[in-house]
Amino acid sequence: MKTKSLFVAAIFIWAALFLGTAYAQDYSENETILLRTQEFYNSGNYLKAIESINQAIDLKENQKAFPEKVRLMAEASYFEYVESLQKEAAANGGRVNAKAFDKYILQLELHPQAASQRIFTIVESLFENELEALAAERQKYTNGKAGKWDKINDRIEFLEKKQNELFDVVSGRVPAEKIKLELAEIEMAKLDRALRIAVLCVGVLLVIVVIVLIVIVYKNYKRRKQAQMHFETSMEVISSMGKDFQENPDLAAAAAEQSKRTSLATKTLLGKGDGDLSKQIMEFFSTVENRKLMADLQNKCFALGDKIDKYTFRQRTSRKVSELVLKLCNEAKLNHDVALVCYCASMVYDAGFLSVPKSILTASELTMTERQKIREHVHSAAEYFDFVPEQIRPVFLQAAEFHHENMDGKGYLAGLSGTQIPFIARVIRVCESYISLTSKRAYREIMDSDAAVKEMKSKAGVFYDPKIIDLLEKVI
C-alpha cells in the first residue's frame, strides 16, 4: 500500500513538472512575441505589429483562456492600422488602398479575437465609402466599355461578400476555421493551376527543344551529305588524271616534278619485292619485345583511320577496307604477322587527305591546281606514320603512295603495272573499289556483292589484279 502511494505521488509530481515546464515555455514565447509586437507598435509599423501579434493569437486560439494582454495588443495594432487606412483614404478622395484593405480584412477574418466595436465602425465606413464610389464609377460605363464595367462589378461583388463574411465571423455565426479551410482550398486550386501551367510550359518547352534538335540534326545531316557528295566528286578527279595531263602539259610537268620529290624511302621500295618485305616483317616480330608492339600499333591505326574517315566525311571506310584486306590476306595464306601489318596499313593508307584543306575536299567545283592538290595526298601520308616502327613502315608507304596504280600501267603515282605494284597496294585497290561499289553514292545506286564482283571482273587486268579478284570472290 505504501509503495502504491509513492508511485501515485511520483506521477503527480512528474505531471506537475511537465505542465509547469510547458507553461513556462508558453509564457516565455508569449512574452517574446508581445515585446516584439510592442516594438513595431511604438515605431508606428502597425502592419508588422499585426503580423507579429497574429503569431500569439495562433498559439492560443485553441485554448479557452485567451491572455488578455495578447487580445489588447492585437486590438490596438489592428485599430491603429485600419485608422491609418482611413486617414489615407480621406486624403485620397475617400478611396481606400484596395490591396492593403483586402489584406487587412483577410487577417481580421482569420483573427476575429482582435476585433472591437471601434475597429468594426471604421471597417464598415470604409466598406460603404468604397462601395458607393465603385457604384458611381460603374454607372459611367453602363453604356460604355463592357470589360471595364465587368471589372468594377466584380470588385463590388467581392467587397459585399467580404463585408458579410467579416460580420458573420466577428459575430460568431461562422467560425474562423471555415474561412481558413476556404482559403486553403483556394490556395490548393491556385497551386494545382500553377502546376498544370508549369507542366504545360515544360511540355511545350520540350516539344520546342525536340523540334530544334531535329532541325539541327537534319541540317547537320544535309551538310554532311553535301560535303560527302563533294568529296566523292573530288575522288572522281583522281581517276581522270591522265585526261588532265593530256589537256594541260604544265600540269603534267608539275606532276613529274612532284614524283621526283617522292621520298627516297618510297623509291627504294620499288626495288624491294613483296617477298623481301614479308621476310623483313617476320624477322621484326620474331622477338617477344617487338610482338608486344602489335596491339599498340593496331590501336593507333584505329584512331588515325577514324580521324581520316571523319575528315573525309566517310562512314567507317577505313575499318571496312582493312577488314576486307585482312580476309584476303588470310585467304592468300600470308604469314599471320604480314597479314596484320597489311591490315594496319590499309586503315591509314589515305592519311594524306588530312593535309588537303577541307575547303578543297568539299568544293563543288575544283580548279586545276586544286585537283592536283587532291592527287598529291599520296605524298603527304608519310608524315603521319611516325608511330610505325621503321622496319615495317615500307608497307605503310607502299599502301599510301601506290594504291591508285592500275594493272595496265595507266594509274599513278609512278605508272607501275602488274606485279611491279606492291602487293598491299593491289589488295587495297580491289578492296577500296569493292567497298565503294557496294556503298550508296550520290552519283549511282548501290550494287549487291555479285554485281560488284562482276563489274570488277570486267576491269581485271586493267585496273585490278585478277588473282586478288578471285580471292575476293571466295571471301564474300
- Written as tens digits, the pLDDT of the chain (476 aa) is 555 555 545 555 554 444 444 444 455 677 888 889 899 999 999 999 999 888 888 876 544 456 788 888 889 999 999 999 999 999 988 899 999 999 999 888 888 888 899 999 999 999 999 999 898 888 888 766 667 888 888 998 999 998 888 888 877 777 766 666 665 666 566 667 777 888 888 888 888 888 888 877 776 666 555 545 545 555 555 555 545 555 555 555 555 555 545 544 455 555 566 788 899 999 999 999 999 999 999 999 999 999 999 998 888 899 999 999 999 999 999 999 999 999 999 999 999 999 998 888 877 777 777 877 787 788 889 999 999 999 999 999 999 999 999 999 988 778 889 999 999 999 999 999 999 898 876 556 788 899 999 999 999 999 999 999 999 999 98
Do 234 and 378 have their domain in common?
yes
Do 170 and 255 have their domain in common?
no
Do 133 and 267 have their domain in common?
no
Do 236 and 101 have their domain in common?
no
Q: Is residue 440 situated within a structural domain? A: yes
Sign of torsion over alpha carbons 448, 449, 451, 456:
positive
In this predicted structure, what is the pLDDT of residue 68? Answer: 84
Residues 439 and 429 sit within 8 Å (Cβ to Cβ): no
Do 354 and 428 have their domain in common?
yes
Q: Is residue 199 situated within a structural domain? A: no
Do 308 and 380 have their domain in common?
yes
Do 352 and 453 have their domain in common?
yes
Q: Is residue 345 situated within a structural domain? A: yes
Which of 140, 159, 174 is the last residue in one of the domains?
Answer: 174
| CATH number of the domain encompassing residue 248 | 1.10.3210.10
Residues 210 and 296 sit within 8 Å (Cβ to Cβ): no
Do 243 and 170 have their domain in common?
no
In this predicted structure, what is the pLDDT of residue 24? Answer: 46
Do 122 and 248 have their domain in common?
no
Residues 34 and 73 sit within 8 Å (Cβ to Cβ): yes
**Number of domains present in the structure of the chain:** 2
Do 164 and 293 have their domain in common?
no
Which of 126, 145, 174 is the last residue in one of the domains?
Answer: 174
Residues 238 and 363 sit within 8 Å (Cβ to Cβ): no
Do 243 and 146 have their domain in common?
no
Do 130 and 247 have their domain in common?
no
Q: How many helices (H) and strands (E) does the chain have?
A: 22, 0
In this predicted structure, what is the pLDDT of residue 277? Answer: 86
Q: Is residue 193 situated within a structural domain? A: no
Domain that holds residue 142: 29-174
Q: Is residue 225 situated within a structural domain? A: no
DSSP per residue over 184-250, as a string?
HHHHHHHHHHHHHHHHHHHHHHHHHHHHHHHHHHHHHHHHHHHHHHHHHHHHHHHHTHHHHHHH-HH
- The Cα–Cα gap between 389 and 401 comes to 18
Q: pTM higher than 0.85 for the full model?
A: no
In this predicted structure, what is the pLDDT of residue 333? Answer: 94
In this predicted structure, what is the pLDDT of residue 439? Answer: 83
Q: Is residue 398 situated within a structural domain? A: yes
Q: Is residue 439 situated within a structural domain? A: yes
Q: Is residue 319 situated within a structural domain? A: yes
DSSP per residue over 271-328, as a string?
TS-HHHHHHHHHHHTTSHHHHTHHHHHHHHHHHHHHHHHHHTT-SSHHHHHHHHHHHH
Instruction: Give the residues across from 460 on adjacent strands.
Output: 464
Which of 129, 154, 174 is the last residue in one of the domains?
Answer: 174
